[in-house]
Structure 1
Amino acid sequence: MIDPKRVELSVYEGIPHLISPVVTQNKKAVGVFRWAIGEMEKRYELLQQNGARDIDSFNEKVAKRKDGEKLPFIIIIIDELADLMASFGKEVEGYIVRVAQMARAVGIHLILATQRPSVEVITGLIKANITTRVALKVASQIDSRTILDTAGAEKLLGGGDMLFVSPQFSKPKRIQGAFITEDEIGEVASFIRENNKQIAEEVSESAPQFDSVNGGYSEKNSPKNLSDIISNNNIFDQYTGNGDDDDLLEEAIETVRQAGKASASLLQRRLKVGYARAARLLDIMEEKGIIGPGEGAKPREVFLGNEGDRGFESKTDN
């Protein structure tokens, strides 16, 4: 569960179905997608090794052989996509599209929600790859078309009145959503927590610890499947990074080395990232002594030579 607003999904905190505590930081939310893509690729390898086409056939084979554990389904829920897109637009869009395109067959699904149905949030690529959509009452016909590709949601009555589209229906289907109070949600969540303590404890005890020094799990504690790491609070930390290991850092270094200058606009153009991430990459490179400090609107000085080993050539006098 990803909840940038911190208040919408907090009621579900602690239920044993969650693979981690509710994620509230956008940076860690990006780590969730990186983890999901890694999990997806591992599952496809498992399917290939076992001659299965999808998660259902894999689980059937495992059940018949009685020599392994079934793969559980994974659902990634994002309460407010707009905030995530504002911080990591292109990167998050790419992750969402890849998961939506490929992960369904291996049991990984997405539920995305937003109160701002604009084309900057629900991009054409995202909409093309998420074919099942629900629209509650919206303010305008434009908002309705952004979600459903057709007008109509602006005429809904509110109070759970909604339009539903999926590959099974050629036209939007009007349905009624049920109203559940916060107290009812809290009671159900508390019941689940109270009656599944033993399961949660067993899973938590078997969860391996990530070795931050060696950059992986020890062979003894290496997670064999998803259930080995459920309830591990730090499951996404290795995919999030601490700010110094941005996965575009090497490419950014090579870009400024070749250009002989460093600026946010250069990184935005070459790496196709937003300003916030470009500025963060500049900060990391400055901290590592690769580029000089900012001087207003001027490009920053680059302290790297042209050698292939990227050796440092300090341009400052000692």
Structure 2
Amino acid sequence: MNMSFVLGIKEIDGELLYLNLGGAFSGLEQHAPHTLIAGATGSGKSVLLQNLILDICATNSKDMARVYLIDPKFGVDYQHLEELPHLSEGIIIDQDKAISTLEFLVEEMDRRYLLFRDQKVNSLKDYNAKTEENDRLPLLFLVHDEFAEWMLIDTYKQAVSSIVQRLGVKARAAGIHLIFAAQRPDANVLPVQLRDNLGNRLILRVESEGTSQISLGEKGAERLLGKGHLAARLQGESGLIFAQVPFLSTDELIKVTQLIANN
């Protein structure tokens, strides 16, 4: 299983910046299991999300990584990704289906802990090392774009906050990772329970100092250049890391998706 994913090229030294979910890699520490992405229109948020999903799927087989993609905007930015076999549910565009997916992840997390107990291990990596190939468990990624739109609905907000709080405590060892993204993760749509559990912050240009303060923890993201200019606050790293997110054209995206799907 690969659990280190390319975010961009670091400004300070031109080296690749990775999101390390499974351990230290390429001179960077192990980062938090869950991630918040924010960025206004034109900032490169959708491109960063596409890149992460492609990297997950290109470097892990469909049997060892599954992606659940929730998008209130009906998946228009991710239509080509639906061909990826790792997206077993396609793109989830319905609130009820989104809540049931989150509930499934909690149930799966608890089921996995019982399996770990039987095998006397405490992580997915150790469990897979002890079991036969057919019994190994995949990494699970929940990617929720534009979550702010549905978080304005109280029932959805309460359900998501409660479920994420449960997943935030134990999901890493079970191989379950959350990536939540929004244009404006302001205080009314990003409750403390959710914010505290999204330890990695990948912030592109935002519209205001207030949004920067909430998403990044300080002012400054409103002065980023847009088009993939990234400020990353990653658990375990000292200070902000500035980077440039790589860009794929639609034609290139289609080619990469087809390569992964046909491999």
Gap runs ≥5 in structure 1? 197-318
Partner of 2:206: 138
Name the Cα RMSD after superposition. 1.5
Partner of 2:181: 113
C-alpha separation between the residues in 2 aligned to 1:83 and 1:139?
Answer: 17
Whose RCO is larger (CA < 8 A, sep 6+)? 2
Aligned residue identity for 2:92: V
Partner of 1:79: 145
C-alpha separation between the residues in 2 aligned to 1:138 and 1:166?
Answer: 18
Is the CA contact (8 Å cut-off) linking 2:70 and 2:91 kept in structure 1? yes
Percent of aligned positions that are identical: 32
Structure in which a larger fraction of residues adopt strand: 2
Query: Counterparts of 1:24-39 in structure 2 under 5 Å?
Result: 24-39=93-108
Residue by residue over 1:217-246, the C-alpha shift from the partner in whole angstroms, topping out at 9 and shown as x without a partner, is: xxxxxxxxxxxxxxxxxxxxxxxxxxxxxx
Q: CA deviation at 1:122?
A: 2.0
C-alpha separation between the residues in 2 aligned to 1:41 and 1:19?
Answer: 21
Aligned residue identity for 2:246: A
Bigger-Rg structure (1/2) = 1
Please give the secondary structure, in 2, of the residue aligned with 1:9. Answer: helix
Partner of 1:167: 235
TM-score (norm 1): 0.58
Is the CA contact (8 Å cut-off) linking 1:37 and 1:99 kept in structure 2? yes
Q: CA deviation at 1:131?
A: 0.7
Aligned residue identity for 1:53: N
Is the CA contact (8 Å cut-off) linking 1:84 and 1:92 kept in structure 2? no
**1:70 and 2:136 equivalent?**
yes
C-alpha separation between the residues in 1 aligned to 2:130 and 2:158?
Answer: 39
Partner of 1:53: 122
Q: CA deviation at 1:14?
A: 2.9
Query: Counterparts of 1:232-243 in structure 2 under 5 Å?
Result: none
Gap runs ≥5 in structure 2? 1-68
Is the CA contact (8 Å cut-off) linking 2:184 and 2:206 kept in structure 1? no
Aligned residue identity for 1:120: N
Partner of 2:52: none
Q: CA deviation at 1:84?
A: 2.5
Is the CA contact (8 Å cut-off) linking 1:138 and 1:153 kept in structure 2? yes
Equivalent pairs, count = 192
C-alpha separation between the residues in 1 aligned to 2:102 and 2:184?
Answer: 22
C-alpha separation between the residues in 2 aligned to 1:130 and 1:53?
Answer: 22
TM-score (norm 2): 0.69
Is the CA contact (8 Å cut-off) linking 1:54 and 1:106 kept in structure 2? yes
C-alpha separation between the residues in 1 aligned to 2:240 and 2:224?
Answer: 12
C-alpha separation between the residues in 1 aligned to 2:215 and 2:138?
Answer: 30
C-alpha separation between the residues in 2 aligned to 1:84 and 1:31?
Answer: 15
C-alpha separation between the residues in 2 aligned to 1:59 and 1:15?
Answer: 24
